[in-house]
């Protein structure tokens, strides 16, 4: 029998090669592909589909890579011999469920990337004739299909699920469940993204949340794009924009658009009331815009000088000045029926109930009111019914008030 190393070497393997094995004293043959589902050192076939000759490795059950191979894959998830992720999870209240329920698991032993996927559009275009279409270059794709109709059921579908853990004593670097980065190496985009044209040529977007999956029939509106829940812990903030994360401002000067919405899209605050067996169905407050032209619009700005209402050019229309220690407050109240709408002063402790109206220098206090023609001449004995107290330029004055009958109409 020739020495093993004397046989000629095969340059490539496709899994169809036959090898000889011994089992319980008997010699058997089997295909190499049955021993090694993914034959090493295979060169690319240059095709994608099996009927064109593409070599496709198949494992019918489960596949564990790297440190995940330490998991025995048993029905008992809390075995003594386990991968390091299962050991960590098993020491908490949630249990070691991650690898235990995985069909495919890859866990790094070196603190590097566990799973990586990449694709590029130049290959999509180049291979479009062969593929029969222009595929989207998707690095990693996932689907979670909810098709269990039993009611009730605990079966829930997730296309993607991830957890970012911070263990005790980790106080220097932050932990992230996910970081999405746009890397724009092409300069400014050819267009501009707006609520009416959200995608533009050359645009780069960290997240696009759509609804419908491109289905042409049968798809309905989704409930929400993003939902924050307690499970059971809370988030201290919902969304945070770093002060220098937006184009146009560093948080100290300029302006940057944090949220852009279309006309008649708004923000609602729902009440805890229950109607039609649904809590929070009704709104208690809303903030939205129906402005159709910029020249008719207004801006609301909170500044060191107070609350400013301006036009869209920044010209001041109305303002409310700040007061670090207010005693007397002003209430604007609508009226019902014959009750007049009015301005009401709320006098605080050691305060004043005066209402001030202060025209600028040389200005007038102008009031639009029905004016009657000259009426009857007042007799020397006519006395005012009331006196109106006013103060002009720091001097207290009184205006006599007469009844319509006294004034002649």
DSSP one-letter string for 56-118:
----SS-EEEEGGGGS---S-TT-SS--HHHHHHHTSTT-S-TTTT-SEEEE-SSSS-S----
pLDDT of residue 395: 86
- Rounded to whole angstroms, the Cα distance separating 174 from 166 reads 8
C-alpha torsion 213→216→218→220, nearest 10: 50
Residue scoring higher pLDDT (328 or 383): 328
Tokens at 15, concatenated: 């899994």
Q: Residue 22 domain-assigned? A: yes
Confirm if 388 and 399 have CB atoms less than 8 A apart: yes
Q: What is the mean pLDDT of the chain?
A: 90
Q: Residue 32 domain-assigned? A: yes
Q: Residue 154 domain-assigned? A: no
**Residue range 42-70: mean pLDDT, rounded:** 88
Q: Residue 156 domain-assigned? A: no
Residue 31: give the domain boundaries.
Answer: 1-58
Determine phi and psi for 197, rounding to 5 degrees.
-140, 80
pLDDT of residue 22: 85
Q: Is the pLDDT of residue 37 over 70?
A: no
Q: How confident is the model at residue 5 (pLDDT cuts 50, 70, 90)?
A: low
Confirm if 321 and 305 have CB atoms less than 8 A apart: yes
The number of beta carbons lying within 10 Å of the beta carbon of residue 114 is 14
pLDDT of residue 406: 80
Q: Residue 42 domain-assigned? A: yes
Total number of domains in the chain: 1
pLDDT of residue 3: 64
- pTM, 2 dp: 0.80
Q: Residue 5 domain-assigned? A: yes
Cα-based angle 193, 199, 205 (whole degrees, multiple of 5):
85
Span of 295-309, 310-324, 376-390, 393-407 with lowest mean pLDDT: 376-390
Q: Residue 24 domain-assigned? A: yes
Tokens at 4, concatenated: 């093993």
Closest CA to 210 of 200, 225, 188, 220: 225
């Amino acid at each position: 029998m020739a020495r093993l190393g004397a046989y000629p070497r095969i340059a490539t393997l496709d899994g169809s090669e036959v090898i000889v094995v011994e089992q319980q004293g008997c010699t058997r043959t089997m295909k190499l592909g049955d021993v090694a589902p993914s034959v090493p050192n295979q060169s690319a076939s240059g095709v994608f589909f099996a009927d064109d000759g593409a070599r496709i490795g198949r494992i019918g059950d489960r596949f564990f890579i790297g440190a995940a191979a330490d998991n025995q894959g048993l029905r008992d998830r809390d075995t003594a011999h386990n991968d390091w992720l299962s050991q960590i999870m098993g020491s908490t209240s949630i249990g070691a469920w991650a690898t235990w329920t995985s069909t495919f698991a890859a866990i790094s032993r070196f603190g590097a990337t566990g799973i990586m996927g990449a694709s590029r559009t130049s290959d999509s275009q180049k291979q479009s004739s062969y593929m029969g279409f222009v595929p989207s270059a998707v690095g990693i794709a996932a689907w979670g299909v909810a098709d269990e109709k039993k009611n009730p059921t605990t079966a829930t579908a997730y296309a993607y699920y991830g957890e970012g853990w911070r263990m005790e004593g980790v106080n220097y670097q932050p932990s992230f469940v996910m970081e999405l980065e746009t890397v724009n190496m092409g300069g400014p985009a050819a267009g501009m993204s707006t609520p009416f044209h959200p995608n533009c040529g050359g645009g780069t977007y960290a997240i696009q949340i759509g609804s419908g999956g491109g289905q042409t029939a049968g798809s309905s509106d989704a409930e929400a794009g993003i939902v924050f829940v307690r499970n059971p812990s809370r988030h201290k903030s919902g969304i945070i924009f770093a002060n220098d994360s937006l184009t146009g401002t560093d948080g100290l000067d300029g302006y940057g658009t944090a949220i852009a919405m279309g006309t008649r899209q708004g923000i609602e605050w729902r009440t805890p009331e229950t109607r039609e067996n649904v809590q929070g169905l009704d709104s208690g407050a809303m903030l939205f815009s129906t402005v159709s032209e910029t020249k008719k619009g207004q801006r609301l700005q909170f500044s060191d000088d107070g609350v400013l209402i301006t036009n869209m050019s920044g010209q001041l229309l109305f303002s409310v000045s700040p007061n670090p220690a207010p005693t007397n407050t002003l209430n604007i109240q609508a009226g019902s029926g014959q009750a007049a709408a009015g301005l009401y002063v709320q006098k605080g402790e050691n305060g004043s109930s005066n209402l001030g109206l202060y025209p600028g220098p040389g200005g007038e206090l102008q009031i639009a009111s029905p004016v009657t023609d000259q009426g009857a001449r007042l007799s020397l004995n006519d006395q005012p019914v009331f006196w109106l107290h006013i103060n002009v330029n720091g001097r207290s004055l009184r205006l006599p008030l007469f009844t319509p009958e006294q004034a002649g109409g």
